[in-house]
Amino acid sequence: MRFEEVLELGLKFHGHKCPAMPLGLRAGLASIKALGVERSQDKELHVKAETGKGHAAGCFLDGIMIATGCTYGKSNIEKLYYNKMAFTLIDQKTGRAVRVSLKPDFFEKALASPFVQKRKAGIPPQNIEPEVTDPLVGRILGLADEAFLDVGPVHTVEVKKGKGVFTAKRCASCGELTFVNKLRETESGDLVCIPCSGYEG
Ligand SMILES: [Zn+2]
Ligand SMILES: [Zn+2]
């Protein structure tokens, strides 16, 4: 995909224009470039994101998902909830991995930007004037990678490989089709889904 296409897809998927999603896009593309791999069509790549929830600029992760093709639906992304603007991209075939993070100086300044001030004041991102958002996004798109990203050395990690489960059976209680690895057996020997079983996962 050309960068313009990735950006367009990102903006549509994300739902609003903000500086953090394009930062994630750029960071995701830099990680793919560092490993010399293609965007994940299935589960060729895996992302361990250090972002969390309830903090500014969490939109970063949507950009990473779009750029790397690692998505929650495919389960080849996980959040570590460290509340840090960093992630590691792993090539599942070779175990080659790279950690990419936002430079502290850059991110400190970004947190002082007029966009973040408005967010702090409770204005939803989609209601912030384009005069505030557009120049920030434009600047991010024009930055050299070295100006805002720390791309770590390519290293090797251990890759756990699991096979997908393709068999589903009906829950004896609610009748809904459930993949067998999450069906539980009751005392009478019936197979039921987690919500019907009365206990957690
Ligand atoms: Zn956003
Ligand atoms: Zn059920």
Measure CA 127 to chain center.
Answer: 24
Ligand nearest to the CA of 172: 2
Nearest to 47 by CA among 57, 55, 56, 35: 35
DSSP letter for 46, please. Answer: E
Burial of 97: CB neighbours in 10 Å, binned 0-12, 13-18, 19+: buried
How far is ligand 1, taken at its centre, from the CA of residue 78, in Å?
19
How far is ligand 1, taken at its centre, from the CA of residue 21, in Å?
5
pLDDT tens-place values along the chain, 201 residues long: 889 999 999 999 999 999 999 999 999 999 999 999 999 999 999 999 999 999 999 999 999 999 999 999 999 999 999 999 999 999 999 999 999 999 999 999 999 999 999 999 999 999 999 999 999 999 999 999 999 999 999 999 999 877 889 999 999 999 999 999 999 999 999 999 999 998 765
Q: Which residues surround ligand 1, an ion (CB under 5 A)?
A: 18, 21, 59
> Partners of 86 in the beta sheet?
101
Take residue 167 and report the two structure tokens written for it.
């068999």
Give pLDDT, residue 49. 98
Take residue 23 and report the two structure tokens written for it.
């930062």
